[in-house]
């Protein structure tokens, strides 16, 4: 399930839950779908990928001959990650 689908399910559920027009309206998504969307949202929020984390890992695992070589690599990495 993609983030857009997760967001839609959560929004639909909140809209349904807050609705005052029809008390007996059926839930827009099954409890299973809602539970899955909540689980995925928690995972996304808890383990979101940060560019600074990736840079730190790559920097710690890379062996550069010069500081200039390291700086050029990091700048290129930041540009590529920023494009994602």
Q: Does residue 33 share a domain with residue 62?
A: no
Q: Does residue 37 share a domain with residue 55?
A: no
The pLDDT of residue 2 = 82
Angle 72-77-83 from CA coordinates, rounded to 5°: 135
> Into how many domains does the chain fold?
2
Q: At 24, list the tokens.
A: 């007996």
pTM confidence score? 0.56
Cα separations in angstroms, 76 against 52, 71, 82: 13, 9, 10
Q: Does residue 42 share a domain with residue 7?
A: yes
Q: What is the residue-level pLDDT of the chain in tens, covering all 84 positions?
A: 788 899 999 999 999 988 877 767 888 999 999 999 998 888 888 777 666 677 677 767 677 788 888 788 878 877 776 665
Q: Does residue 78 share a domain with residue 56?
A: yes
Q: Does residue 33 share a domain with residue 65?
A: no
Angle 10-14-20 from CA coordinates, rounded to 5°: 160
């Amino acid at each position: 399930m993609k983030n857009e689908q997760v967001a839609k399910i959560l929004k639909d559920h909140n809209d349904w839950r807050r609705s005052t027009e029809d008390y007996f309206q059926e839930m827009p998504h099954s409890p299973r779908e809602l539970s899955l969307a909540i689980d995925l949202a928690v995972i996304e929020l808890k383990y979101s990928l940060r560019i600074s984390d990736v840079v730190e890992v790559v920097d710690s695992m890379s062996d550069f001959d010069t500081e200039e070589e390291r700086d050029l690599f990091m700048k290129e990495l930041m540009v590529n990650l920023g494009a994602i």
